[in-house]
Structure formats: structure tokens, C-alpha cells
Structure 1
Amino acid sequence: MLLRPPLARTTTSRFFNVRLTHQYAPGLLQGRRPVVGSSYGPPNLNVRLRRQIHIPSYLLPPVIFSGLLVALYIWKSFIMVSLQNKIIYAPYLPPTARFEKISDWQKKLSGIEWRELHMRSIDGTDLALAVASVSSEPEEVTHDGVSHHVYILYLQGNASSLPPRLPDHSWILKRVQMEFKDRYSECGKVRFTQVGLSYRGYWTSAGRPTEIGINQDAIAAMQWISQLHDNTYDARDEGGQHKVKPIFIIWGQSIGAGFATNLAASGVMPAHLEPAALILETPFLSIKDMLETIYPEKWLPYKYLHPFLRNHLDSYKNLGTIAEQRKERGLRPPQIFILEAGRDEVVPPRHAEELRKRCSELNLPVETKVVPKAFHSDAMVGRVHVAEFIMKQTAKVIRADY
């Protein structure tokens, strides 16, 4: 009787890609590891070893170091993009910024009375304001006989809060109050009100700062000023216009200058509250340009991250929009005043110069002043220039109305 040979079964070793038959490697049935090239298997086994990457030992340190550099490059880029709001806006500096009180600075306010008021932003966020008002006739406290009312909306820089800035602003209001009547008596009685806006997340305002959110805050502050004027002066002429004409000036410092041009270019201004002037204190061209300024090295990733920016503050572009809108509506262009710090350690002089050239190209009247030896946060050493500009621009608008 002819016996059939046993069927050959195959298995795969977990250590080598070796296909063996149990006929030639019976040891596998007992779980023993086959010995390649031994008497347990045929001499021509199909043995395929898995490929492995082999790095010579002398190359290992530079490879590891290069890998760490690449990982750090990617990590820093990720941090810059994901935490850009934390980097740009610093309402927590100094640590006491959110706990400041106007009363803490009372002795340095030149007798100007400031009030902390609150309002709602477009999205309902609670915002704080610092408001003060003076008359061109110091002894007069009523609104009787006022011909024009100047409103100055102040948009601060990226750090600290409003109270520490009030002494300089009080000095400006006091100078305007004491000198405007003597120098521009033909303009009649004029009232000046400054409204300092505390962005969301700053001082006693709620929320977290973002460019979109602060743009809404600035629009809400402008609407608040418009409502304040309507509530204060009811009398209107035959054309339905206020007999007391408002003069609107937007003043922005550092990133506030970017928000000032954002607001002026937004196209949401009421007809009676189109800005007559913009005061740009230590301005920059845009966040993109600031990235290239702070990190000029080509090998650093930051300057290449502008496509991922959520904050732009592009004053260069905004000036073009402002000029185009005014031309289309047949309105006088706003007067631009650039206050530059002579030793600015943050924004290089090139930015102010390019903004000045941009204004000239767009036929926007522009005036610049440089405060010698002043650093970025010290431009208010030249506060006299701001006071002079406010008085001069107010008189210019009043004369044009007459």
C-alpha cells in the first residue's frame, strides 16, 4: 500500500522573515528557534533579513543636534502663531495694571477731573472709559454759548492701563483750556472732551484682547461719543444739524495708532462725526512690517509667518482707504499728525517716514514732530506738540465752518 507523504505546512519566524516547512524544521513545532544554516533546514533556505537604518557613530551627535534645531524651529513657529494675541497685547504689564485707580494719580492731574465710566461694546463686552471735559473759558462750567465741541478719542498702546497716562493728558487739556481763548478768540466758546478707551481685557474692562474685538470696542466708543453729543445738545438748525458742531479727533499710541487708522477706515462713521484729524503717536506700518523689523535674520521663522497672522493693524493700507473714502464722499481729508520718538527702541524711524510719504502720495495733509532723545514709551515728553496740534486743528475746522 502506497502511503502519502505528509503535507508540508509553513510558518514565519517572528525574528526573521524565514519561510520554513515543518518537514525540514520540525523544531518549530516545539517552539524552538530555527538555526539558520544548521542541519535542521535545507542549505538553500529563502532567508530575507529586514532592512535597518545604520548611522555611523561619528554622525550621531550632529544628526541629533540638527533634529533638535528643526524641532525647535517648528515649535517656536507654532508658539508665535497660536499665542500671537498674548504676545501683542500685554494688559497684565505691569502686574498692577488691572488694579490701578484714577484716585491714585489725583495729585498729578493738574486739577482736571477724570471720571471712570462704563459702556458696552458691539458684542456686549463691558468696557471702561476715562472721561474728562474742559472749556476754553476756564471759569465757565456750563455748555451755554458753546459753538463747537471737540471730542478726542484716545486709543492706548499694548501695555499698562489708562490711569498712569492721565497726568500727561491732563497737562494737555489744561494747556488747551488756558491758551485756546487767548490765541484763537475769534473761534468763540469751545468745549474739549477726552474719552480714553480701555480695550477689552485692559484695566477694568472685561474680555480678552483681539484685533477684531478691539475694532468693535473703538466703534462702540465712537457711537458712545455720538450719543453723548446728541444727549448734551438738543438744539438743531433748519437743516436738522446740531447747532453745536462736533469736531472729532482720534489719537492712537503705538498699536493704538493702528486701531485709530482701522476706525477711520471702517466707513461706519456718522456723517456729523467724521474725524477731522488723526494723531499717530509712535506709529508703525503694520504688524507684518514689525515682524520683519524685530526679526530681520533670514534664517528665523517669524518673518515668514505673516500669512498666519490674525492681527494686522495695517496703517499703511488704511491711509489709502481713508483717502479714497473721503474723495468719493466729497469730504475734506483728515489732518494727520505723526509724533515720533527720537530714540525709539521698538519702531525704527523708517516706519514714520514711510507713513509720511504715504500721506503725501495720497494728498492727505500731514505734519510730523520728532521728540529728541525720547524712547518709545516716552514720546509724551513732547506733549506740548500734541496740545499745539489740537488747538491749531480746532481753530482750522471752526474757521472753515464760518
Structure 2
Amino acid sequence: MVGLPLALWIYKCLMMVIFQRKIIYMGYAPPGARTEELHASLLPREIRCMEVCLESEKHVRLHGIIIHQDALDCSARDPDVVIVYLQGNAGNPLARIPVFEKLLSGLSQSQQSPKNSTLSVHIIAVAPRSYWKSSSRTPTERSLIADYHRVLSYAVERYPKSTIVLYGHSLGGAIAVCLASHLSSTDYPTVQGLVLENPFASIPDMVQALYPQRWLPYRYLGHLAFDKWNAVAAMQSAKGGTDSLLSRLSRDMLVLLSEKDEIVPPTMGEEIYRARESTRHQGTNYRSAERGQRRLVMVRGALHEQAWMHRQWVNEMTAYVHQVRARKDW
């Protein structure tokens, strides 16, 4: 009655610790995510997409896509804005094409552009190691930061006159925060925007959120995580007036939270947002919080992967991209 459940719990805990990176980084899910090919049939009308291949550290190959609207082909010049997208813990960039199409469509129809002028936008979405067609190497916190560092550097080098926006969803949100905290602001002057959609505070916090029952042993395994992805600590470090890229970007970032997020508690996104504030400014509400140009927005009725389906998400993203472009001070 006691020995068998205890043995099963110990066994499962051991397996969770040993294979934790298979749980955190799910490049193999859904089935076929590693072998899916880019076909014209996947693309909506008026959308153009091309594959890119980059080389990260130790000869790791990274595969991704660059997507833009056909009517706004910027082959002759740099686009106005380039969004570098950091994905969540499953799937591949091809699965996010509907998200990108929704954003590009919203920007093309925006009334905020100057008369007779349309904002040209490119989106770069590159899969890190162990995702899509990228090299099958074991992902770690250090190696994924190196991969996305390479992607961001590629965007800056390829589009030297464009405004760059760093956009992270879920795990990608935590990666975006940690990546920016490792980079110097002076080295990336064209990176002007930071969007975090449903980011989590850290891996240990996510373990407790997924296993809220105090009588289960799994919730106490968080401190055994190999990769912490502590976005809150990284954001707190940005308050000290350092020269990090995060210190500058976090002053004007946009944090989008799904009201009915079934995976990442919205309180985590709020915690990341508040971590950048001074003590006297804490106490934000979920409806909409603003400190200067920073915003915390709750997308009403949205689930973890469905915020982009709501008009509120389109409006907030469109307004933010135009705001970042108008602020071009580099």
C-alpha cells in the first residue's frame, strides 16, 4: 500500500530529472515538426517566405524563415522594421506562419502609417538547435542563448538600416529576456523594441505552477533544473542602470498576457513586468499598465497559443511596432 506508490513516485521523479530537457525543449512535437518542409501551399496569398540557414557555435546549423508581404518586397532597400521571433518550446517556425500573416496583415491595414506610406516589415523566425531542420544537438540554456545571439546578429548585419524588434513567446519570452541581459546596448543600437507574450518567470516557477499540489513530490524538483531561465532575476538586474541591452529595451517593452492562459499563469508575466519597476511603482493591474512607454496588456479571452487570433492582440502589436519605428533615435 505504501511501498509501491513510493517506488513509482521515486522512479518518475528520477526520470523527470534525467530527461528534463526532453520535457522543456520539445522540438520533436508535434509529430513531423522536425521534417516538415516549406511549400507554397502553406503560405497565405500576398505572403512571401524564404528559408535561411545560419551557422552557430561549434558548426551548429540553424534553419529558419524570413517572411514578408509580397506588396512590400524590400529587396531594393532595408525594410522599416524587422521582427526577430523567438518561439515557444514546441513546433517549428512554419507552424507560426498564420501568426506572422495576421501581424503583417494588421500592419498593412493600419491607419497609423503616414499618408501614402505603408510600414514595411520583415519577420525572421529561426529554429534553434534540436528544432525543425536545425542541428540535432542537445539544447541547453547557454547554447540556446548562443543560437539566438547568432540570429540577432544576423538580423542586425543583414538589415543595418532597419529598426529591430525582439519578440519572444512563452519559452521564447524568457530566452529573449536572458539573451538581452547578456548583450551590450552599445553593440546593438538598432534593436529598439522588446515584446514578451506569455513569458514564464523561470523553470522552477513553472514546475510549481504545473504541480500545485503540495503533497506531490514533483513540485519540489524545480531546484534540480539544469536550465533555470530566470527571467525575473535577469529583469531585476536591468534596473541598476547597466549597459545591457535589456536595461534599455525593458524601459519601453510590451508584455502581452492571455487572460485564460492554461499553461503559463498570467501572474508570471506580471512578475517579469514589475521586476523592472522601482518599488514605488509596483502594484500594476492586469487590464493595462503603463510606465512611460512600457505596457502590460491582458488579451481578453485568449488562451496560451491563441492571443494572435484576437483583434486586441493585432491592435496592440500594430501600435507598438509603429511606436518603436517612430522612436527611431539611433
Same fold? TM cut 0.5: yes
Query: Could you say if the C-alpha distance between residues 104 and 184 of structure 1 is closer, same or farther in structure 2, counting changes exceeding 3 Å?
Result: closer
Among 153, 156, 169, which residue is 1:226 paired with? 156
Which whole-Å CA distance do the structure 1 matches of 2:232 and 2:40 have between them? 38
Query: Could you say if the C-alpha distance between residues 393 and 226 of structure 1 is closer, same or farther in structure 2, counting changes exceeding 3 Å?
Result: closer
Q: Tell me the equivalent position of 1:210.
A: 140
Q: Tell me the equivalent position of 1:349.
A: 266
Moved more, 94-103 or 79-88: 94-103
TM-score, normalised to structure 1, is 0.70
Q: What per-residue deviation string (whole Å, max 9, x for no partner) do you get for residues 335-383 of structure 1?
A: 2211111211111222122223223338875312222222111111134
CA contact (8 A) 2:202 2:229 kept: yes
Q: Secondary structure at the match of 2:3?
A: helix
Aligned amino acid, residue 150 of structure 2:
A
Give 5+ residue unaligned stretches, structure 2. Answer: 282-290
Aligned amino acid, residue 166 of structure 1:
I
Q: Secondary structure at the match of 1:305?
A: helix
Q: Secondary structure at the match of 1:202?
A: coil
TM-score, normalised to structure 2, is 0.84
* 1:69 positional shift: 2.9
Among 87, 90, 97, which residue is 2:33 paired with? 97
* 1:76 positional shift: 1.9
Q: Tell me the equivalent position of 1:240.
A: none
Among 370, 385, 388, which residue is 2:298 paired with? 370
Moved more, 330-339 or 371-380: 330-339
* 1:67 positional shift: 2.4
Q: Tell me the equivalent position of 2:284.
A: none
Using CA pairs below 8 Å that are at least 6 residues apart, which structure has the higher relative contact order? 2
Larger Rg: 1
Task: Calculate percent identity across the aligned residue pairs.
Answer: 25
CA contact (8 A) 1:359 1:366 kept: no
**1:195 and 2:124 correspond:** yes
Query: Could you say if the C-alpha distance between residues 111 and 325 of structure 1 is closer, same or farther in structure 2, counting changes exceeding 3 Å?
Result: farther
Q: Secondary structure at the match of 2:305?
A: helix
CA contact (8 A) 2:193 2:249 kept: no
**1:336 and 2:266 correspond:** no
CA contact (8 A) 1:93 1:159 kept: yes
Among 165, 173, 188, which residue is 2:104 paired with? 173
* Aligned CA-pair RMSD: 2.9
Which whole-Å CA distance do the structure 2 matches of 1:322 and 1:185 have between them? 34
What number of residue pairs does the alignment pair up? 314
Which whole-Å CA distance do the structure 2 matches of 1:71 and 1:142 have between them? 62
Q: Tell me the equivalent position of 2:86.
A: 155
Q: Tell me the equivalent position of 2:61.
A: 126
Q: What per-residue deviation string (whole Å, max 9, x for no partner) do you get for residues 246-281 of structure 1?
A: 422111111010111011111256624463221111
Which whole-Å CA distance do the structure 2 matches of 1:327 and 1:320 have between them? 14
Query: Could you say if the C-alpha distance between residues 99 and 361 of structure 1 is closer, same or farther in structure 2, counting changes exceeding 3 Å?
Result: same
Among 261, 267, 283, which residue is 2:183 paired with? 267
